Structure 1
């Protein structure tokens, strides 16, 4: 029997007004970080990516190139061209063979369901460098990353800041009120043994 792959959840998060880690507004990202997208691509190329139906459809119903794409849908009739479709995270993981790692790429429901199977988490945190490196509290949306509990430890704390944009719009109730620099860092977590 093949060894089970390492399950890695990968996401970019900002802070919502309610303090939760926001990942989206419906099926859209509230930001555009080209450098982080290149990082995501470099990590996931040649590997299996697992996503929910809404995330897949937000990509224009096209699989991510040069990756084995798996879509999770409760709908037994759902077809995703160029992808395998499973009806649970566990089924998807159990049916991936011969791979060293698989990446869970969202959305919110899939992250929540995957938390118990994940071995690692890679979070791009969008931060405000001017406020003690807190997550940047300016995003509005309705899709959140699950809480990271005490059974996780930070193995790479993300000390290096990357400039994402010199003119990122700051919004209040979805209205632009100012612009400022936007930074991000990448934090790696591993499940405690």
Structure 2
């Protein structure tokens, strides 16, 4: 069931696309639309289901845990051969061998391209992780920061705040000293303004 159910889902999707493609081909060729649609849908369903099921079974056979790129390549090649054989049987016995060979090449070539793209993406991701910057940062105004960079920025901001607090404390101290100086300067003037007590009293 782990192989059959996903394969039937893929085959049903491909078959639906085949029905649509066959109908379009029938209209273009001025041929029976329903016949072309059913024929194309059946072929696409057979090819997709057999390819996907064979590939899943081959992966389970070649790899017990995580399949390697080589395992995927072998599984795709075998799956292409099986799908090509079934597709050739639908078209006639003469098309079995050419279909098996061509679909094996298609499966191997497609998987080789997929392996190359996966390896390139992994290498690019590893490079971006080491450098701390992704490819998107070339076009984005936002720069990703590491934990150390972020900590350094916070330390700089904290130093600025402490410096501002020190300046404010100095300013407050200067104001207090100025007010105290003014108060001391005003005391002698206040004593002079008060009249001395009369001797007669």
Q: Same fold (TM over 0.5)?
A: no
User: Which structure's CA Rg is the greater one?
Assistant: 2
TM-score (norm 2): 0.20
Q: Could you say which structure has the higher strand fraction?
A: 1
TM-score (norm 1): 0.21
Task: Indicate the structure with greater helix content.
Answer: 2
